[in-house]
Chain A
């Protein structure tokens, strides 16, 4: 037998990546810097006790499909801060002010928030979920699941 039959180094090479028929994703580069400036604006709005405005800025500025995991985590923590800051009584008005695109992005944040629960966060998020669901319907939840560019 040849000397290298016991060696399985070749098994670490992924030959499928060289197949021409592979599905190629549309590579749209998203600029992570776009979320940066909103960070300070949103924190200042939160400090100034204007969480609903912070929410509108957050959702309109949110970029989907960022590949950088650290950037996604920071945007999630920021979103959670804003969502927690808004009291239950203010949620109805906040949701009514948003346009359809922002409501879809909000639903995506809500589901991401469910993924990483802190104490008390899930209960508040459930109220958010119910309010957004009454306005945006099952369609927004279907889009959370179908859209490839995640928030």
Chain B
């Protein structure tokens, strides 16, 4: 079952849920972030974060500490904290970049966040006590182009970054002021700050921007979606084997793990798809929605039929897609459950809708759904 939340006609470029899932922060392709709270079946606007000068590119709401971080094309990021008067207070983050910030994600323990940018830099930001503000450390080499997406490993140290130089990289973001030295993982044992643990190329045919990256729930696998309509999974526990599936679909823009071996991805196809990860290959699962073909309404008279044929060259005016979303999906976010054990997830799209997908009821309704 899907629940559709309509927020107007403007495209929703990014969104994030609060920890209790009662509030939603979203940006409608503008420099403002609007906060909504659910009251019954309706959404009430409860806040407006409008400090940015240019388009907000990414929002992340930390569930445990209740802080929102937003980043924008104006090369800035702000951390917003709710004070006692229920007003969101902003703090500027010193990113020290000279190009747009493209994506931001809190770390699992919410003591750091990573910002990817067009300056070919990832800024790892943490709160510095003496300065009482957010400072950043840069990861520069060997990135050659814009960082498009970031995901944290569950150990709070490693991050994966997808970039427009057709590569996916795993870095260490160890900040010694903030945390203890990490124990070795399948990705390596030495993890100084900014160290490149592993680099993967998206395609041997040399192409395809990486749109989204996601670590598996246990952190041993890394999945990414490329613009060459492919989904790839690298398995660190299996000798860095890279399994790539070149799909017949349009490229995906966002993905996440809904089960330990199942990925949900969505993008230009306007409907989420599942992908099953087996021990040596990635296979296409199924679409999460059936193509609802409209039965032709008997109301179209013969005159309309010929009128349309003359004007448009076809019998009926069919511009509506047979899916819930009418435009490409920008982001997938987990709502109920966590990575690897998801009950519900939401997708935001350029058609102004946020749709919440309930996996349990969907599995009951759709016979062919493979999760």
Contact = CB atoms under 8 A, between A and B. Distances in A.
A138 B251 CA distance: 9
B248 interface: yes
A12 interface: no
Nearest to B209: A146
Contact of A138 (B203, B226, B249): B249
B206 A143 contact: no
A139 B205 contact: no
A139 B203 contact: no
Interface in A109-146: 136-140, 142-143, 146
B201 interface: yes
Contacts of B220: none
Tell me whether chain B's interface is mostly helix, strand or loop, or mixed.
Answer: loop
Contacts of B55: none
B249 A139 contact: yes
A21 B250 CA distance: 32
Given A147-B203, A149-B206, A140 B248 contact: yes
B250 A138 contact: yes
B228 A147 contact: yes
Interface residues of A, number: 20
B208 A147 contact: yes
Contact of B246 (A28, A65, A139, A148): A139
A65 B205 CA distance: 8
13 contacts: A28-B206, A64-B205, A137-B247, A138-B250, A139-B229, A142-B229, A142-B250, A142-B251, A143-B207, A143-B228, A143-B229, A146-B209, A148-B207
Interface of A: 21, 23-24, 26, 28, 64-65, 100, 104, 136-140, 142-143, 146-149
Given A138-B249, A146-B208, 11 more contacts: A26-B206, A28-B206, A65-B206, A137-B249, A139-B246, A139-B248, A142-B228, A143-B246, A146-B207, A147-B228, A148-B166
Interface of B: 120, 144-145, 165-166, 201, 203, 205-209, 226-229, 246-251
